[in-house]
Amino acid sequence: MSKYIVKRLLYMIPVLLGVALLVFTILSLTPGDPGSIILGITAKKEDIAALNTQFGYDQPFFIRFFNYVGDIIFHFDLGTSYATRQPVMDSILARFPNTLLLAVLSMCLSAILGISMGIFSAVRQYSVMDHVCIVVALVFASMPGFWLGLMMLILFSLKLGLLPSFGADSLRHFILPALTLSLPSAAGLLRLTRASMLETVRQEYIRTARAKGASNKRVIWRHALRNALLPVVTTLGSGFGASLGGAIIAETVFAMPGMGTLMTTAIRQKDVPMVMGATLFLAVLFGLVILAVDIMYAFIDPRIKAKYQNGGKGRE
Amino acid sequence: MKKTLTLLAAICGLSMFASFSAYAQEGKTDIIIAVDADVETLHPTDFSTTVEMTVLNQIYDTLLYVNPDGSEDPEPRIAESYEISEDGLDYTFKIRDDVTFHDGTPVTVDDVVFSIEMYKASQYQGSQISVLSSVEAVDDSTVVCHLDTPYAPFLLGISSPNISSKDYYEEDPDGFVTNPIGSGPYKFVSRTVATSLELEANEDYYRGAPAIKNVTFRVLPEIASRALALQTGEINFAEIDASVLAQLEANPAVTISEVPTSSFAYVCMNIEKEPFNNPLVREAVNYAIDRENLVNVCYDGKAEVNSNLCAKHRFGYSEDQPQYTYDPEKAKELLAEAGIETPYNLGTLLVAEKYANLATVVQNDLRAIGFEMEIDTREFNSYIGSLTSGDYTITTLNMTLEGDTQTLEMAFTTDYIGMANNARYSDPEMDELFNQTRSEVDTEKREALFDQILTKAQEEAIYAPMCNPLTLYAYNTDLKAPEFVLEGNYYLYDFAW
Amino acid sequence: MSKSRKHAQLSEFWRRYKKNKTAVMGLILLVMIVGMALFADLIVPYEKCIEQVGADRLQGPSMAHFFGTDEFGRDLFARVVHGSRYSLLIGLATSLMALAIGAVLGASAGYFGGVVDNVISRIIDVFMCVPPVLLSLAVVAALGTNLRNLIIAITVSCIPGNVRLIRSVVLTTAEQDYVEAAKSYGTSNARIIFRYVLPNAMGPIIVNTTMSISTMMLSAAGLSFIGMGIQPPSPEWGALLSNAQTYLFAAPYMLLFPGIFILLSSMAFNLVGDGLTDALDPKLKD
């Protein structure tokens, strides 16, 4: 098992290099240079050029790229932002807790809502409540997240005055953004859990269990759920990655200082070090989450654990 | 599905009937101000955004205070008096001896020299005093600035450098930027990245302690959120725009101030390209635009219609300079006279995403006189690239050339092609006129020169200026805010509850 | 496969699809929305959605303007109706392009295995590590904002998922006997992939594509919302919402109608997708 984890961690290195190259390339294709973006159109050409030189932006593409990667590897330094002239790491660390809290909260919310309602729906297949759940889930899954956010903002902040409209000062500030982010994904999870439960119930071993006279409850909780949750856990894992991405939009709607708003601003300002730093930071996190999900898999499904112990090749 | 619709209808219905609550507070001494972006740096000279300038204005003091509309004499600050030599090349400042930095050390002539030199060397701000050749301290209370050539608006330029402590810079260059020490009415307390920044009153301020004791700047980029927060009392003061005006005006707990600015929204035509190399066509564009409608649509009426690049409140403006009003028939005649056969395809109207509204209206107005075009929206940085390199035919944007009217040279003179002269207009006579206004110290003569410049600009229809947007400040009605001056820079020292 | 057998399969498929009432509802909804897009000019002329009437700005819904007017005084009903063309086009184009690219890459990876699979899979791993919204944002920033670039940006961000899906489907199909048989006859690889492997893996692919149209429409709206959409005055639904946000309080109806239409069309694709899943996979319905 630990051999497998080490192997996976090592594999992250080339992937991260790939991510760095990919984003760096796209960014270098964006027009404009940081000097003129920061100083504006009334600035003198010399001042702009001086600033660009100061940023090292006058160097050719590959030199800039290797310098950047070199700094990360040898000095453990994500560089200095063009726009803020502060270390990128500081900006990230100042905002990351908000995004993490938002992502974790919304993932928990959607897991609790989605899985419980999914089981509920599956157990009472074709009942009125099942239909209500399915319809509600469908509506939320089909909604643009930011639209839902704006609607809730009007209702809960402006009209009812129950919740704050912006910022990240207290847990209360996270309620609306977390709901915005979690409701659509909870809807997806509900559908998935329900389908997965229904499919599992039809499997041979469940029939066998039933035939052996196990109670309905026992069949569901002991046998069906465990197996039905497998695909759900995968989705939840990649869902965490998605909610980190989705946070970009939720943070914009609720003016929350997080990674999302940080990156959108940075992309617009062509703040290369900031975009790179934030992307790599998220990519590392994402890689770790996927790894954690794979390990979790092993605990839920003993067959996979056996595969790892045979020095297996991952999930293929 | 029906359920969803009912739910949505309910949400909407609720929004129609709910009302707002007003917040009033007695004996308040703190204020929360919403700003649109985080302060990225607190360096006294290397800053670039309005927010940074606003915060620094509270922490630092300057030699003089000059009203941006040039209507009054400069007010003394750290310099208690000043003198200008006959030839206009030497500016002598007497420095007050009772001013101290927030750490208790006195403000000396060395600090003043150090600050001005740092400002002059800054890539961000230095161009404002580019005529300064050297600055020196002649004794313990006198500083002299030497100029290369006489420069009429120098006092305005020299009133900009924030006076900072030389010793502090040498001791702790990092702290100098992140934990600034000035001599202004407010002391820096703390900053939370991306969220807020706190200041507290400097009780020892030489002009007397400020009335507002604690200041918080909150980062709140969305105008809609600001409007909401103003009404819930989460913030006390914010710049807003017209999109939330109706709802804030309806709330008695919120007051709105309209502040004139010199920034201008305009149509910029590339004079190097067909058909805009013909002044008649540029005139036609000027006549084709319904400026009143544009102001209504894009600024909800909160802008001053103006077909002159010079704002009405600025030195040099006169009603007698030619003006363009909405007259599509005249525009069509001018096009016919210029030999333009309509419909004429202009290709694309280049625009940055944030000015897309202007483009939408202008496209509509120009279509009415027979110009066809597609709107090409770009990210701001890509837009600026094409704009400054002349890689466009026609565009709409908003630009600010603050300070003395002299700054208009950036839009009209050959030296600024590739920078702010985006029409790419080049005329030796115009260049010479701006050279004269530069060194002319006699106010009346200088005004006559500007009149000549602006008349020429209007006659040749170099640009098609449309309006000067107003800055809108919204704040709690209980807050006693001062009268805001041109450009809307504010000093919290002038505020009280 | 003979024609009549194909025909019989189709009618059996339709019989199963018909049994599912919600799926039929979804199909009707979908037909209505597609109809609206196709016949937009008959419903209301395009001229109406770019015509600016200064006097009519920000009017709430009325008989003259069913959905009210925007800040330029343009009729929102016309804009919503014509907006369907853009939103559907974006959804369809991105899904199909991502499908095509995903099919080529995924099928090659799954079918050839070995080095090909390794190279493709590692590249996909890299793409999977960047949040899709961020990837789209960066691509739009690099290329500029217009309809074509928006489609490219969204396509790029959803190719990795498609490659993975098609690769895994092809992996299972490629092991089937008939593929082995075709190989033994010396049939060319490309022919085997397109003739035998892909068609037999079609079920999950069709379902996934249908569902992805809905997802793509939502992501396009999201990008438009943060101001990276298409050029004005084109009435794409996301762009309408982005405008509406500015007038959140003064004119909430501006937010309501485009939102409802995005919701309905995205729901239609989801319902049809669900229906297809059930109809293609009869074992779930016993």
Q: Looking at chain C, which subunits does it touch, using at least 3 CB pairs closer than 8 Å as the criterion?
A: A, B
**pLDDT at residue A316, rounded to an integer:** 34
Contacting residues of A for B220, CB less than 8 Å apart: 166-167, 255
Question: Are B223 and C246 a contacting pair at CB < 8 A?
Answer: yes
In a domain, A193, yes or no: yes
Q: Are A269 and A213 in contact (CB under 8 A)?
A: no
Same fold, B7-34+185-259+481-494 and B264-469: no
Query: Which B residues in the span 384-423 are in contact with A, Cβ-Cβ below 8 Å?
Result: 384-388, 399, 401, 407, 410, 418-420, 422
Query: Which B residues in the span 9-28 are in contact with C, Cβ-Cβ below 8 Å?
Result: 12, 15
Q: Looking at chain B, which subunits does it touch, using at least 3 CB pairs closer than 8 Å as the criterion?
A: A, C
**pLDDT at residue B11, rounded to an integer:** 42
State how far the alpha carbon of B392 is from the alpha carbons of B272, B340, B377, in Å.
10, 19, 12
Q: Determine the average pLDDT of the residues in A160-189.
A: 82
Higher-confidence residue of A314 and B66: namely: B66
Do A190 and A264 belong to one domain? yes
Question: Which residues constitute the domain of residue A253?
Answer: 89-309
**pLDDT at residue A307, rounded to an integer:** 54
In a domain, A315, yes or no: no
Rounded distance, CA A258 to CA A100, Å? 9
Question: Are B293 and C260 a contacting pair at CB < 8 A?
Answer: no
**pLDDT at residue B12, rounded to an integer:** 41
Q: Determine the average pLDDT of the residues in B365-376.
A: 90
* Residue-wise pLDDT tens digits, A264-299: 888 877 788 899 999 899 888 888 888 887 777 777
Of B301, A148, B209, B377, which is closest to residue C224 (Cα–Cα)? B377
Shortest Cα distance, chain B CAs vs residue C76, angstroms: 15
Q: Out of B455-464, C118-127, C167-176, which region has the weakest mean confidence (pLDDT)?
A: C167-176
Confidence check: pLDDT of A314 > 70: no
The overall average pLDDT reported for chain B is 87
**pLDDT at residue B468, rounded to an integer:** 93
The verdict on B379 touching C (C-beta cutoff 8 Å) is yes
Contacting residues of A for C129, CB less than 8 Å apart: 15-16, 19, 283, 286-287
Do A159 and A299 belong to one domain? yes
Domains in chain A: how many in total? 2
Domain end residue (candidates: A44, A75, A106): A75
Q: Which residues contact B326 (CB under 8 A, 6 or more apart)?
A: B287, B288, B289, B290, B291, B292, B293
* Residue-wise pLDDT tens digits, A222-238: 667 777 777 777 777 76
Of the CATH numbers 3.40.640.10, 1.10.1140.10, 3.10.105.10, 3.10.50.40, which one belongs to the domain with range B264-469? Answer: 3.10.105.10
Do A152 and A14 belong to one domain? no
Q: Out of A110-119, B160-169, B427-436, which region has the weakest mean confidence (pLDDT)?
A: A110-119
Confidence check: pLDDT of C164 > 60: yes
Question: Are B38 and A255 a contacting pair at CB < 8 A?
Answer: no
The architecture (CATH level 2) of B7-34+185-259+481-494 comes to: 3-Layer(aba) Sandwich (3.40)
Do A149 and A21 belong to one domain? no
Confidence check: pLDDT of B17 > 50: no
Strands (E), chain A: none
Of A94, A119, A65, which is closest to residue A278 (Cα–Cα)? A94
Question: Are B4 and C144 a contacting pair at CB < 8 A?
Answer: no
Rounded distance, CA B283 to CA B275, Å? 12
Surface-to-core class of residue B389, CB atoms within 10 Å of its CB (0-12 exposed, 13-18 middle, 19+ buried): exposed
Higher-confidence residue of A14 and A242: namely: A14
Confidence check: pLDDT of B20 > 50: no
**pLDDT at residue A306, rounded to an integer:** 56
Domain end residue (candidates: A52, A75, A98): A75
Shortest Cα distance, chain C CAs vs residue B291, angstroms: 12
Confidence check: pLDDT of B18 > 80: no
Residues of C with CB under 8 A from a CB of A: 22, 122-123, 125-134, 137-139, 141-143, 214, 218, 221-222, 225-226, 238, 241, 245, 248-249, 252, 255, 259, 262-264, 266-267, 270-271, 283-284, 286
Q: B101 is written with which tokens?
A: 């930095």
Q: B285 is written with which tokens?
A: 């564009």
Confidence of residue A311 (pLDDT cuts 50, 70, 90): very low
Which of C128, C270, C284 has the CB atom closest to A199's CB atom? C284
Q: Determine the average pLDDT of the residues in B260-283.
A: 91
The verdict on C249 touching B (C-beta cutoff 8 Å) is yes
The verdict on B377 touching C (C-beta cutoff 8 Å) is yes
**pLDDT at residue A304, rounded to an integer:** 57
Which of B37, B123, B218 has the CB atom closest to A39's CB atom? B123
Question: Are C137 and A264 a contacting pair at CB < 8 A?
Answer: yes
Residue of chain A whose Cα is closest to the Cα of C212: A142
The dotted CATH code for C11-284 is 1.10.3720.10
**pLDDT at residue B118, rounded to an integer:** 92
**pLDDT at residue B13, rounded to an integer:** 39
**pLDDT at residue B181, rounded to an integer:** 93
Q: Determine the average pLDDT of the residues in B387-402.
A: 89
How many Cβ atoms from other residues are within 10 Å of residue C121's Cβ?
A: 17
Q: Looking at chain A, which subunits does it touch, using at least 3 CB pairs closer than 8 Å as the criterion?
A: B, C
Do A201 and A246 belong to one domain? yes
Shortest Cα distance, chain A CAs vs residue B205, angstroms: 30
For residue B260, is the peptide bond before it cis, meaning its omega torsion is within 30 degrees of 0?
no
Please give the span between the terminal C-alpha atoms of chain C, in angstroms, as a whole number.
27
Contacting residues of B for C246, CB less than 8 Å apart: 223-224, 243
Do A62 and A124 belong to one domain? no
Task: Domain ranges for chain B, please list them.
Answer: 7-34+185-259+481-494, 64-171, 264-469
Backbone angles phi, psi at B83, to 5 degrees: -140, 140
Question: Are A147 and C127 a contacting pair at CB < 8 A?
Answer: no
Confidence of residue B119 (pLDDT cuts 50, 70, 90): very high
**pLDDT at residue C2, rounded to an integer:** 58
Q: Determine the average pLDDT of the residues in B95-102.
A: 91
Do A234 and A267 belong to one domain? yes
Beta strands B471-476 and B254-259: pairing type? Answer: antiparallel
Token pair 């899904």: residue: C95
Contacting residues of B for A151, CB less than 8 Å apart: 8, 11
Q: B35 is written with which tokens?
A: 């700003």
Q: B70 is written with which tokens?
A: 């040039």
Higher-confidence residue of B414 and C183: namely: B414
Task: State whether residue B18 is helix, strand or coil.
Answer: coil
Confidence check: pLDDT of B16 > 60: no
Task: Domain ranges for chain C, please list them.
Answer: 11-284
Contacting residues of B for C138, CB less than 8 Å apart: none
In a domain, A227, yes or no: yes
**pLDDT at residue B241, rounded to an integer:** 84
The overall average pLDDT reported for chain C is 84
Contacting residues of C for A147, CB less than 8 Å apart: 221, 241, 255, 259, 262-263
Confidence of residue C282 (pLDDT cuts 50, 70, 90): low
Q: Determine the average pLDDT of the residues in B339-363.
A: 88
For residue A164, is the peptide bond before it cis, meaning its omega torsion is within 30 degrees of 0?
no
**pLDDT at residue A312, rounded to an integer:** 40
The percentage of chain B sitting over the pLDDT mark of 90, rounded to a whole number, equals 48
Confidence check: pLDDT of C78 > 50: yes
The percentage of chain C sitting over the pLDDT mark of 70, rounded to a whole number, equals 97
The verdict on C181 touching B (C-beta cutoff 8 Å) is no
Shortest Cα distance, chain B CAs vs residue C214, angstroms: 17
Confidence check: pLDDT of A313 > 60: no
Shortest Cα distance, chain A CAs vs residue B76, angstroms: 29
**pLDDT at residue B212, rounded to an integer:** 93
Rounded distance, CA A270 to CA B404, Å? 32
Domain end residue (candidates: A75, A106, A125): A75
DSSP conformation letters of B399-444: E---SSGGGGHHHHSGGGBTTTBTT----HHHHHHHHHHHH---HH
The percentage of chain A sitting over the pLDDT mark of 70, rounded to a whole number, equals 89
Confidence check: pLDDT of B21 > 50: no
DSSP class of residue B470 equals P
In a domain, A83, yes or no: no
* Residue-wise pLDDT tens digits, A62-86: 888 888 888 888 887 888 888 777 7
Question: Are A22 and C126 a contacting pair at CB < 8 A?
Answer: yes
**pLDDT at residue B257, rounded to an integer:** 92
Q: Out of A58-62, A135-139, C100-104, C169-173, which region has the weakest mean confidence (pLDDT)?
A: C169-173
The CATH class, in words, for B64-171 is alpha beta
The verdict on B225 touching C (C-beta cutoff 8 Å) is no
Contacting residues of C for A152, CB less than 8 Å apart: none
**pLDDT at residue C57, rounded to an integer:** 82
The overall average pLDDT reported for chain A is 80
Question: Are C137 and A19 a contacting pair at CB < 8 A?
Answer: no
Query: Which A residues in the span 68-87 are in contact with B, Cβ-Cβ below 8 Å?
Result: 81, 83-86
In a domain, A70, yes or no: yes
Confidence check: pLDDT of B26 > 60: no
CATH of the domain at A154: 1.10.3720.10
Confidence of residue A305 (pLDDT cuts 50, 70, 90): low
**ipTM reported for the complex, 2 dp:** 0.82
